Structure 1
Amino acid sequence: MPSSRRAFLGAAATLVAAGCSGTPDVLGLRRSVRVAVSWSGTELRAFHSVLEGLGELDYPVEVIPLGDDISTAFGSRSARRPDIVMLPQPGLVPEHVHDLESIPDDLAARGRARLWDELLVVDGTTYGVPFKTAHKSAVWYRPSMLQKVGLEPPRLWSDWLELNRSLSLAGIRPLSLAAGDGWVLTDFLENVLLGASPSTYRALATTAKPKPSEQPQFAAALRLLGTMWSAPGTLAGGVERSLVQQFPDAIVEVFGHRRAAMVLASDFAEPVVRSFAADPADIGMFTFPPISPGAAAPVVVGGDVMVLPRPSTDDAKDLVRRLADPAALDPWIASGGFLADGRTTGYSPELTRLAEQLVAPGTSLQFDLSDRLKRLGDINGLWRVLTDFLVRIGNRGSDVVPGAVESALAELGAVEKVEG
C-alpha cells in the first residue's frame, strides 16, 4: 500500500508521551490527552517541538502515529481512543460528523481561509480547526540544469513541455516522479484539470455523486497530462523506477543523486530537499504554470485539521486552543516544511512565495480533489487508474495517449459504478 502523504519521511514511529505535569485524579494519575497523527520521522519530531514549546501543561499529552491508518481513529469508544485527530484529509470531516464534537465557539469564530469552511462547517456548525496547510502545486528543481539549456522556469504548460524536450535532448532527465505514492499522480492530474477547467474541477469537488469519467474536460486533462508523461526521455529511471519510487526517493533523485532536474513536491518536502541538496545554492522552486495564456495558475491545497472525536474533554479542547495559537507553530515553521493558514511571514524564501500565492488574487485555488472524491479518489480509485495510465503511456510517445485515455475512463467508470 502506498505510504500516506504524511508518512513519507521514513522512520517507524513509536508512541511518545509529551508535556506532562498536572493534577492527579483519585488513582494518582491524570488521563492523557491522546493526539492521533499521520506524521512520522522529521514531521513527527517537528510536532513534538511544537508541543514542547507550549510549556508546562496541566495534563500529559500522548502522540499516536497512525500513518495510513489515521481514519481508524474515528468511531472508537474504547478508553484508548484519541482525544484529538490531526486529520490529513479535511474532505472526510463531513463524512464523519456523527463521530465528531463541534469546535468551541471561540475557536470556530476565528478567521480562516474561506475554502476551509466548505469542509469544516456542516449545517452551520464547525467541526475542525486548520493546523497545517499544504501547497500541492510546487515544483522543486536545480537551477543549474535549466541554465545548461539556457531556459527559465516555465510560464505556461507549453513552456514546461518545451523545457522537458530541451533537457532530454541535452541528456538530462527532466522529471523525477514518485509513482509509488499514488497521491503524487493525483496531484499532477488535479493541477492540470484545475488549470484547464476550473468549473469542472469545482463541480466534481462539490457534487454528491461525481462521475469524472463522463466529463469531457476530465478526459481532456488526462490527454494533456499524457503529453508530458508519454514523452520519451522525460522520466528519470523510466516507468519502471517511477512505479516503485516513493515521495522522498523522488526528491533524492533530483537533489541527492542528481539524476533529474525537477520534481513535483509540496512545501512539506523542504526539509528533505535541503538535507540532500549537494549545493544549497542550487535549489529552486516554481509553481505549476497556467495551462494557457490568460488563464489563472492552478493552486491545489491540502492540509491537516484538528478534530475532536466524541465525547470530548475539557483538556482536549484546551490543547486545541493552544495549538491554534499562531505563535505555537513557530518551532515547526523554523525547522521548515510548514505553512500556516493565512500566514505569510517567517518562512524560507521558497515557502514565503508559496504562502503569498495562497492569499494572492489571480490564482485558481481549490482543495485537493482526490480528497473530496473520498473513496473514488483513493488507492482503489483514481490512484490505481493513474498508475495504470502511466504504465500504458510512460516514455512511449504521444501516439499511445488517446487509447490510454479511453482505457483510464473505462476503468474509472467501473469504480464509479461500484461506489455509486
Structure 2
Amino acid sequence: MTSSRRAFLGAATTLLVAGCSSDVLGLRRSVRVAVSWSGQELRAFHDVLDGLGKLDYPVEVVPLGDDISTAFGARSTRRPDIVMLPQPGLVPRHLHNLEPIPNDLADRGRAHLWAELLVHDGTTYGVPFKTAHKSAVWYRPSVFQEVGVQPPRLWSEWLEVNRSLSLAGVRPLSLAAGDGWVLTDFFENVLLGIAPAVYSALATADDPRPSREPQIAAALRLLGTMWSAPEALAGGVDRSLVQQFPDAVVEVFGHRRAAMVLASDFAEPVVRSFAADPDDVGLFTFPPLAPGAAAPVVVAGDVMVLPKPTSDDALDLVRRLAAPTAVDPWIKEGGFLVDGRVSGYSPELTRLAEQLSGPGGLLQFDLSDRLGRLGDINGLWRVLTDFLVRIGDRGSHVVPDAVDAAMTELRAVEG
C-alpha cells in the first residue's frame, strides 16, 4: 500500500533540513532520513527531531511521499541513511539492501506485532516507530442520538444502523474511494473477521492466490451488502470515487453530510481541526462479523530501517528516536500510536491503543501491503474500485453478479 495515506494534510515536495547540510558546507556528513509524510505529519516529525536536543551531526529529512520505496535505489543523490518505511511488508524483499538492527534495539522488532515482518533467520531488520490502527470508525454522536441508534456491536447491527440513518435522511458513510487503500482496509477487516486463517495464509504465502479462496467471495458479498444499499454513501458513488482520505473525514465532521467514516488513528488531527463541536466526536472499532466471533483489528505502521552501508551517526539517531519519550511531541499533536504504549493519548486513541495491547481479538498486519503487486493500485485496489462502481447505490440484487465479476478480475490480476 503506497504512502498516500500519509499525505492527507497537504503536499511537501521540497527537501526539509534540520540543522545544516554537510553536503553544502563541507562539515560533518549529515544523516538523511527518508519519510513518506507531508503536511501535519511532516511538521510533527520535525517537532520530534527538535525535541531530541542538540545533536553532533546535521539531520536532513527527505519527503518522498508515494515514492518512498525509491529510497533503496537512489543513484543521482546519496542514498538515505534511515528510511521510515510505511510498508513493513516490503522489508523481506529488501533484506539484501538493509543492515541488521543492533542487539540493543532488536527486541523492539521482535514484538508480537512485528516479528513476522522484521525478523528473518534470527536477525532483526527494522525498529517500529509508529503503529496505525486501521479498524477505527469515527462518527458524530449527535447524529446517532437524534436518530436513536448506538454504535454497532456486530456487523448485522451496523447494517441496521445504516438503514436507520438513511431512513432519517442521513447518509451513513463517507467513503474515500479515491484512495484505494481505504477500500482494501474495509475489505481486509471483513475478510479477517470471517476467515482469519485464510487471511493469515494469504499474508504469508510465497505465491498468494486469493481467487482460489471461497472466503474472498464471501467477504465481497458481505461488503457488497453495505456498499450497495441505496442512500448509503455521502455523495453517492460518483463523489466517493474522487474523494481522497482527508476529504472523506471532512465530509463527516466539517460539511456534516455523513455520519461516520472508516479512518485510522492518524485521522485524528483532521477530525479535531474540522469538528464544529469538539465534544461531538466519537469512535468505535470494526465490530465482529458474527455473534461470539472476535473483532478484526487490521494494523499497519512505519518502521525504521537502515540501508547499507550504515554509519554510527545513523545508528545514534535510530536509538534516540526509539527512546520511549522521543515521540511525545507527536503524541501531543494527535494521530500517533506506539505499539505497547497505552498512556498519553486522547480518550479515543487510548481505546485504540488498549485494543492493540490487550488480549483477545484478531490482530493482523495490513494484507494488501503483504501481497506485493496483487495488493497495489493495479491489483486489489482496482478490483475493489470496480466492484464499488458495479454495486454502489444499486441495491443488494446486483451484488452476486458483481462478486462473480470481481473474482474473474482477481484471477486475471494473479496471472
Q: TM-score, normalised by structure 1?
A: 0.96
Tell me, what secondary structure is at the counterpart of 2:73? coil
Q: Which residue of 2 aligns with 1:10?
A: 10
- Cα RMSD for the two superposed structures: 1.6
Q: Which residue of 2 aligns with 1:134?
A: 132
Further displaced range: 201-210 or 68-77: 68-77
Further displaced range: 210-219 or 235-244: 210-219
Further displaced range: 119-128 or 1-10: 1-10
Matched, 1:252 2:250: yes
Deviation at 1:19, TM superposition (A): 3.9
Structure 1 residues 147-196: Cα deviation after superposition (integer angstroms, max 9, x where no partner)? 11111100000000000000000000000000000000000000000011
Distance in 2 (CA, whole Å) between partners of 1:411 and 1:56 is: 54
Do 1:19 and 1:56's aligned partners in 2 also have CA atoms closer than 8 Å? no
Do 2:2 and 2:87's aligned partners in 1 also have CA atoms closer than 8 Å? no
In structure 1, give the amino acid aligned to 2:139. Y
Do 2:109 and 2:115's aligned partners in 1 also have CA atoms closer than 8 Å? no
1:213 to 206, 211, 214: 211
306 and 357 in structure 1: CA distance in 2 versus 1, 3 angstrom threshold: same
Q: TM-score, normalised by structure 2?
A: 0.97
Distance in 2 (CA, whole Å) between partners of 1:59 and 1:395 is: 56
Q: Which residue of 2 aligns with 1:374?
A: 372
**Pairing 1:2-401 to 2, within 5 Å after superposition:** 4-20=4-20, 28-76=26-74, 80-110=78-108, 113-401=111-399
Deviation at 1:2, TM superposition (A): 8.4
Deviation at 1:28, TM superposition (A): 4.5
Do 1:195 and 1:298's aligned partners in 2 also have CA atoms closer than 8 Å? yes
204 and 28 in structure 1: CA distance in 2 versus 1, 3 angstrom threshold: closer
348 and 294 in structure 1: CA distance in 2 versus 1, 3 angstrom threshold: same
In structure 2, give the amino acid aligned to 1:196. I
Distance in 1 (CA, whole Å) between partners of 2:211 and 2:9 is: 34
Distance in 2 (CA, whole Å) between partners of 1:345 and 1:336 is: 12
Tell me, what secondary structure is at the counterpart of 2:256? coil
Write out the 4+ residue segments of structure 1 that deviate beyond 6 Å after TM superposition.
none
Deviation at 1:7, TM superposition (A): 1.2
In structure 1, give the amino acid aligned to 2:340. G
Q: Percent identity?
A: 81
Do 1:140 and 1:262's aligned partners in 2 also have CA atoms closer than 8 Å? yes
252 and 110 in structure 1: CA distance in 2 versus 1, 3 angstrom threshold: closer
Deviation at 1:79, TM superposition (A): 5.1
Unaligned runs of 5+ in 2: none
Distance in 1 (CA, whole Å) between partners of 2:341 and 2:5 is: 22
Tell me, what secondary structure is at the counterpart of 1:103? coil
Deviation at 1:12, TM superposition (A): 2.8
Distance in 2 (CA, whole Å) between partners of 1:33 and 1:164 is: 50
Unaligned runs of 5+ in 1: none
Structure 1 residues 25-54: Cα deviation after superposition (integer angstroms, max 9, x where no partner)? 9x8511110000000000000000000000
Further displaced range: 256-265 or 145-154: 145-154
Deviation at 1:20, TM superposition (A): 4.9
